[in-house]
Amino acid sequence: MAEKSTERVHVFVSGRVQGVFFRANTRAEAKRLGLKGWVKNIPDGRVELVAEGPSRAVNELISWCHKGPACSRVDKVEFHKETPTGKYDEFSVRF
C-alpha cells in the first residue's frame, strides 16, 4: 500500500558541510527518495534545506544528513517539522 502521509521538514546541518559536495549529494539523495524542496549553503557555514514528501522518505533524508557525503564531517543536525505546502516541483540546489 502506498504511503499517503506527507511531511515537510526544515533542516540545518553543521560541521564541514560546505565545499565537500554536500548540496549536490543532498539533491541526489532527495531525488532518489522522491522528495521535493531545496538545499543551500548559508553564510554561517551550515547547510540549510527544506524537504517535502512521504514521511518515510523525509526520515531517511534526515538520517542521511547525519552522515553526509564521504568528504563531509557532520557535527549537528537540527530540524523541525512544518506544514507541507506542495509548492515545489523538484528538489533543487539554491545559490
Sign of CA dihedral 11, 73, 93, 43: positive
CA distance 68 to 54: 20
Task: Give residue 77's identity as a one-letter amino acid code.
Answer: V
Q: Spell out the residues 6+ positions from residue 93 whose beta carbon is closer than 8 angstroms to its own.
A: 23, 24, 27, 38, 39, 40
Based on the residue annotation, tell me whether 59 is a catalytic residue of this protein. Answer: no
Catalytic residue among 8, 23, 27, 46: 23
Based on the residue annotation, tell me whether 41 is a catalytic residue of this protein. Answer: yes
Catalytic residue among 41, 56, 73, 94: 41
Catalytic positions, please? Answer: 23, 41
